[in-house]
Structure 1
Amino acid sequence: MPTPVDVYRRALDFAARAHAGQKMSGSELPYLLHLAHVGAEINFALENEAEGFDENLCLQVGILHDVLEDTDILPEELAREFSEEICLAVQALSKNKKLPKAQQMADSLHRIKANSKETCLVKLADRLVNMSPPPHYWSAARRKAYQEDARMILEVLGGTHAYLEARLAKKIEDYSNYIGEEDGGQ
């Protein structure tokens, strides 16, 4: 049976190829860094509270969570390389771009909650990582909407993992520092 480190490295190698050349939003840093941060959050969360979670599933889904939404990888390829279970979790984490933007988050959260608690944990870790300082070009309204989406994620996925939920709640509170009345928090 592969160790969590083996699983993490295999998923990271696949994600590195899939996301090759992509950069983090508002940065020159490679997108792979975001995936490594999500993996680290998952790892620390599971060190804190692992009972009842499939660690290998959490790590793989965490590293692969954007390959269907942000690359040319097809679900069939992901399922073939990893498993149908991983593919379904990543599909749940991927926004349905056919829906109006205003409906995409609620739809995704519904599918995440219906998938598995591991998928819920990944979404919490992903949003926790994404609650870093927003790009300078985001308006105050966009920053506020992002904070509200984070609140919805926390509310819908509450009861998944107390450690991640507490960290995300604190990040949501701190994110208010980036929201100014007129200047976008700058």
Structure 2
Amino acid sequence: YDILNYTEITYDDLYVQLSAEIADGVESLSQKDIKKSIEMLLTQPYEIQMVKLANFIVIISTKFKDYSDEKKSAYLKEASFILSCLKNSNIYLSNRLEEKIKEYKEI
């Protein structure tokens, strides 16, 4: 979903070639500002919100161990905020993310 951040594809490209719904979903997932991202995600269908939860689970489960302590702390804070805002989109993913956050807070 980071296609808007790491390629030359634009929101308008997605809008024209796919649909407004897809362009809006991708844009909400691509926001680097967490507060703006949450504002946008809360207007999206649950499926889009679940992508955000799943992304945090994957990052914490894989490359998180390579982060600096400062980056880990910031990321856990962000993950906790995301979880609190998107918890109702999918109970399974919410529980998994909550478990991952707890695991790394204990380390």
Normalized against structure 1, the TM-score is what? 0.52
- Of 84, 92, 101, the match for 1:163: 92
Tell me if the contact between 1:113 and 1:119 (Cα under 8 Å) persists in the aligned partners.
no
Q: Shift of the alpha carbon at 1:86? A: 0.6
Indicate the structure whose relative CO is greater, using CA pairs within 8 Å and at least 6 residues apart. 2
Over residues 37-88 of structure 1, what are the superposed CA-to-partner deviations in whole Å (9 max), with x where a residue is unaligned? Answer: xxxxxxxxxxxxxxxxxxxxxxxxxxxx111122110112222332221111
1:79 and 2:15 are equivalent in the alignment = yes
Report percent identity of matched pairs.
Answer: 31
1:108 and 2:33 are equivalent in the alignment = no
Q: Shift of the alpha carbon at 1:177? A: 5.2
Residue of structure 2 equivalent to 1:51: none
**Number of aligned residues:** 106
Cα–Cα, structure 1 residues 173 and 135, in superposed 2: closer, same or farther, change >3 Å? closer
**Gap regions ≥5 residues in structure 1:** 1-64, 97-103, 179-186
Give 3-state SS (helix, strand or coil) of 2:87's partner: coil
Q: Aligned partners of 1:69 and 1:113: how far apart in 2? A: 21
Listed as ranges, the matches of 1:23-172 within 5 Å are 65-95=1-31, 104-132=33-61, 133-134=63-64, 136=66, 138-172=67-101
Normalized against structure 2, the TM-score is what? 0.87
- One-letter amino acid matched to 2:83: L
Q: CA RMSD in A?
A: 1.7
Q: Aligned partners of 1:107 and 1:79: how far apart in 2? A: 20
